[in-house]
Structure 1
Amino acid sequence: MLAILVPLAGYLIVDHYGKDAVPIPRYYSPERVDTVVNNGNVSYDTVYHTIRDFQMTNQLGEKVSLKNMEGKILVVDFFFTSCPSICPTLTKNLRMLQSAYTKNDTLLQILSFSVDPVRDSVDRLRKYAYDYKVNPDNWWLLTGDKKEIYDLARHEFFVSVTEGDGGPDDFVHTEKIVLIDKNRHIRGYYNGLDSNDIKRLATDVSILNLAKEKKRPSFAKFLKGLFSGK
């Protein structure tokens, strides 16, 4: 009985209070507004930017893509292993975030893209991960094609306002951290050097995990499914 009541209580609390009592992280980067006509009623639906798929190599030498992270909330930053300035602090702050979710690696995935992928080989990423105690269960340091990484930074995650071609002289350096929800929409930007912003990020990850899905079944359907075993 306890096994039924615990998830039921959690469902009721989140369903009744979640949206009103806790501010839900906003959506970023609207792309268009669609007109929806239903039974003569006209409404408008904002369509937000969705992160496209990509393929990179992590510090374990594994080829990974968004398909490997379905159902997870993503936290994304851009760094390089030889960075003497902001990257060490950024990485240490993200490690604190990771520590909060170590026992639940099915919820959160941290992705750190190297902006110096030519030098940041798998071996260098692996050593960096060892030095900073990065747990690969839910944190991947990524390397790959520079043009691809820079295109992601500028046109998918929008962390740089400068344009470039991803060539040898092009460089992106930012302290921004990006929060991506399970539907691949941008839900927040944070200063990775600010401990208060890291706390806000940790809170927003939890909120997104509990947030209602737009098409979640009604409570009546939930009860019916719960007690029918379906």
Structure 2
Amino acid sequence: MSWRLASRLSVITLAVIVVILITVIQHNRATPSSPSSSSSGTSTSASGLQGTDLNGTPAPNFQLTDQYGKTVSLAQFRGKPVVVTFLYTHCPDVCPLTAEHLHTTLQQLGSDAKNVAILAVSTDPKRDTTAEALKFSTEHNMQDYWHFLTGTQQQLSPIWSSYSIYAQQQQQKVNHSSALYVIDKKGNERVYMGDDFDPAQMAGNLKQLLKEN
């Protein structure tokens, strides 16, 4: 190898290294630092709540029928923190677990449980009747602790859309978004939590919102 070729290769190698370094530096500047999180990987919002910050956006109101045949609206719970989730009664896996975790959350709240509301909105209008909603609620010890809300396709679809929920029935299952919206006393969306939420973190969120004016 001639000294000219060796020199040229050295220059090229150095140039490549410089390009790589510049790319790494720019990437690190462009990528925001990750939010602080708990051991379960749930991020902490600016207000200290656990979950994805929703910036206090007003929660879309809705009105449906619960497991006892009573008309229930989100707006009627102003003055209480509210958890809104989306489930269906024939779900074989995620929905029962979500119900169990919400039951655990209420147990951890103790006497404060009566001061919060949980609304489970159906994602299966064809099969989620009032009777099925009550059966599912009873199986998971939630019959007197939440409102499992059912309705027609025409009633439910706009609610799914307003909360960015995908719901599509495929044979005996319903593919749907798993989401829990934590809403404050004023009716504003505060944080979003996934179906893998920690009941202790959810209870902590609700306790914090109970202290707010």
What interval of TM-score do these two structures reach, taking the shorter chain for normalisation?
0.5 to 0.7
- Name which of 122, 125, 129 aligns with 1:121: 129
Q: How many residues align?
A: 164
> Residues 70, 194 of structure 1: CA spacing in aligned structure 2 closer, same or farther, 3 A cutoff?
closer
Residues 15-54 of structure 1, C-alpha deviations (whole Å, 9 max, x = no match): xxxxxxx95338515xxxxxxxxxxxxxxxxxx5312322
Q: How far is 1:168 from its partner?
A: 10
Q: How far is 1:65 from its partner?
A: 1.1
TM-score (norm 2): 0.66
Q: How does 1:76-155 map to 2 (within 5 A)?
A: 76-101=84-109, 103-136=111-144, 138-155=145-162
* SS at 2:121 equivalent: strand
Q: Where does residue 208 of structure 2 map in the other structure? A: 207
| In structure 2, C-alpha distance between the alignment counterparts of 1:133 and 1:58, rounded to whole Å | 15
TM-score (norm 1): 0.62
> RMSD between aligned alpha carbons?
2.7
| In structure 2, C-alpha distance between the alignment counterparts of 1:103 and 1:135, rounded to whole Å | 17
Q: Where does residue 188 of structure 1 map in the other structure? A: 191
| In structure 1, C-alpha distance between the alignment counterparts of 2:77 and 2:105, rounded to whole Å | 18
Contact 1:90 1:175 in 2 (8 A): no
Q: How does 1:11-30 map to 2 (within 5 A)?
A: 23-25=47-49, 28=54
Answer yes or no: is 1:75 the counterpart of 2:76. no
Q: How far is 1:172 from its partner?
A: 5.4
Q: Which runs of 5+ in 2 are unaligned?
A: 1-45
* SS at 1:149 equivalent: helix
Q: How far is 1:148 from its partner?
A: 3.2
Contact 2:80 2:185 in 1 (8 A): yes
Higher radius of gyration, 1 or 2:
2
